[in-house]
Amino acid sequence: MFHAPKHLLINLVVIGGVVATTMMPVAYAENSEVTLTEPAHSLDMDATEYTKAYDVSFTEALRRLIIQLSSDDVEADLKNKYKDRLAGMYVEHTPNYRLVVRLKGNAGVLDTTFPLANKTPVPFAEPLDLPVVFQTGAEYTLAELEKIRDAHLKEFGAIPDLESVEIDERSGELVVDVFEPETASSSSLSRSASLFKNLPIKIRRKSARLGNHANARASESMTMTMTAAGTSLYGCTSGFNVTDKATQKKFFSTTAAHCGNYKITLDDRKTTGNDKIALNHVKDYWTADQDFQVMSVKPPLLQNILLPQFFAKDNVAKILTGKRTLAHTNAHTGTVTGDIVCHYGATTGHSCGEVQSVRNWRGIDCGPNEDIVCGRTSVSVAGDQLDCWVGDSGGPVFIGDVAVGLHVEGSRPGTWEIVKNAKPAKYYQEWNKTMKGKGGCGGKQKNGHEYGGMVYMSTDEIYKAGYQLIYGKKK
């Protein structure tokens, strides 16, 4: 997997009259330049993006997103009921919205429709229901596919230019993503495919590499250096604000661990009065499954300026009210292939995409030294309107006012190779507003290649490290 040097992506924290620049929960006092989204309208921006992706009305997009956020009990019950046969579960958006459940074996199950109660703060007068379609005859269960993948990690890791291996719950295959320039021959891929000819594997060519989304650029949402003596500034996006689970008295800002640890400041791109907010690096969590760091506010600023809010669109902030986990639990909604999630990056702003796999494996080069076998807990996202670029790393991934995770990787189109020997580091192509909404982060295909997508770390990993998200009250 291709990696650039450690970079940053930041969310601006709004600190007492100071606004955080990305979409992390922003800490701020009253600021006339910031609009706080009412909970009843928390899905409006995401629904607008949905209409572009699936050519439906705004009302229909809103209905579908409310169903997605209200169907956790149904999905959890179905997973439990068919756990011995479950071969896949995913959401279809066209021609109609429905949940598809794939099962091993030929014993039939009747399709059904479940009425749902609205679990969101968004009012919706029309009835909500979730059609469920069962497809039988799958060759492997999800558990069997995971065993096959885990038994061949060494072989997968040896594939030249491997990007990731994920389970496709739609087809029941292991999808092996390999970087291949559009002009390259397919001979290397053919050799890779021959190694696994008796396994349920599909080789997918990607013309864009996955990489940490940070860039050498000063005065962005969040800037920092890679060493204590460093002078080159890197930019990232701040993530959700958190507190320690043990005492709930210490508060922290977050971003990706691959962002820098020194001379950290938050800068607001869009409003005044939030320049150069200093943060202290506290700890990195950069493991097989984690890629995030926590930072505290430097005195004399008070830690209570880190509020349960995040920017979702330029100067528009939302109150964080909940989270989605990777798996369904009694307390929290899980994530399903086909779900819609959105993110906000300091470079690209707000955009949304469709979950491709909740079982993504990113190879054998995780961690600060790229020598750790990655875990199998990453979530991949793609979509024709999904934007992500250098500088978006560490930013919040969400749906409505609910946290989903932190952005840790995204595709770099072919023009994003680092210019050799350039000081400071620079790239061939900079992001510009004409690229907005054109799928720069994945989804579109050209000459049999896919441009890639975005990968996020689930909120589960924040909690495993001993932290919890800071929530606000719904009005």
259-272 confidence digits (pLDDT tens): 989 888 876 555 55
Confidence of residue 300 (pLDDT cuts 50, 70, 90): low
Strands 402-412 and 396-399: antiparallel
C-alpha distances in angstroms, 287 versus 295, 305, 355, 375, 463? Answer: 18, 29, 23, 8, 14
- For position 1, what pLDDT does the model report? 34
How does the average pLDDT of the chain come out, rounded?
Answer: 80
pLDDT for 232: 77
Q: Which two tokens stand for residue 48?
A: 């607008």
Q: Give CA–CA dist 460/249, Å, rounded.
A: 21
Which range, 4-13, 247-256, 258-267, has the best average confidence (pLDDT)? Answer: 247-256
More confident site: 196 or 329: 196
Is pLDDT above 50 for 40? yes
As a whole number, mean pLDDT of residues 286-294 equals 95
| Residue 107 pLDDT | 96
CA distances 266 to 27, 71, 313, 345, 431, Å, are 12, 37, 17, 14, 20
Work out the pLDDT band at 317, boundaries 50, 70, 90: confident
**Residue 85 pLDDT level (bands cut at 50, 70, 90):** very high
The average pLDDT across 445-467 equals 80
The pLDDT of residue 198 is: 79
Strand (E) or helix (H) holding 103 = strand 98-104
- In this prediction, residue 23 carries a pLDDT of 31
Q: Report the C-alpha gap between 473 and 44 in whole angstroms.
A: 19
Range ranked top by mean pLDDT from 189-193, 260-264, 361-365, 399-403:
399-403
209: tokens are 């590499």
- Determine what percent of the chain is predicted with pLDDT higher than 90: 45
Give the pLDDT confidence score for residue 414 in this predicted structure.
Answer: 46
**pLDDT at 474 (0 to 100):** 60
Q: What is the mean pLDDT of residues 226-247?
A: 86
For residues 449 and 333, the model is more confident at: 333
Residue 17: pLDDT over 50: no
The mean pLDDT value for 332-349 works out to 87
Nearest CA to 13 out of 294, 274, 316 is that of 274
The mean pLDDT of 162-170, rounded to a whole number, is: 90
Task: Taking residues 297-312, report their average pLDDT.
Answer: 75
What is the predicted pLDDT for the residue at 214?
41
Per-residue pLDDT at 453 exceeds 70:
yes
Question: Which residue from 54, 347, 93, 97 is spatially nearest to 213, judged by alpha carbons?
Answer: 347
Mean pLDDT on 90-101: 97
Q: State which amino acid sits at residue 286.
A: W
Q: Is 349 left (phi over 0), alpha (psi -120 to 50) or beta?
A: left
| Interatomic CA distance for residues 202 and 264, integer angstroms | 43
Cα–Cα dist 104/139, whole Å: 6
Instruction: Give me the pLDDT at residue 404, please.
Output: 94
pLDDT (0 to 100) of residue 346: 85
- Model confidence at 163: pLDDT above 90: no
pLDDT of residue 10: 31
Q: What is the pTM of this model?
A: 0.83
Res. 15: pLDDT tops 60: no
Strand pairing class (98-104; 128-138): parallel
| Residue 138 β-bridge partners | 104
pLDDT of 281 above 90: yes
* Contact partners, residue 308, CB within 8 Å, separation at least 6: 25, 241, 319, 320, 469, 470, 471, 472
Q: How far apart are CA 452 and CA 444, in angstroms?
A: 8
Is pLDDT of 19 > 90? no
Judge residue 428's burial from the number of C-beta atoms within 10 Å of its C-beta, 0-12 exposed, 13-18 middle, 19 or more buried: exposed
How large is the average pLDDT for residues 449-458? 78
Q: In the predicted model, what is the mean pLDDT of residues 282-304?
A: 86
Reduced to 3 states (helix: H, G, I; strand: E, B; else coil), residue 13 is coil
pLDDT of residue 401: 93
Q: Average the pLDDT over each of 43-57, 131-145, 401-415 and give the range with the smallest value.
A: 401-415
What is the percentage of the chain residues whose pLDDT exceeds 70? 75
Distance, CA of 457 to CA of 376 (rounded, Å): 11
Residue scoring higher pLDDT (193 or 383):
383
Dist CA 155 CA 165 (whole Å): 11
Q: H helices then E strands: how many in the chain?
A: 7, 28
Domains contained in the chain, CATH given: 35-41+211-469 (2.40.10.10), 49-138 (no CATH)
**pLDDT(227) > 50:** yes
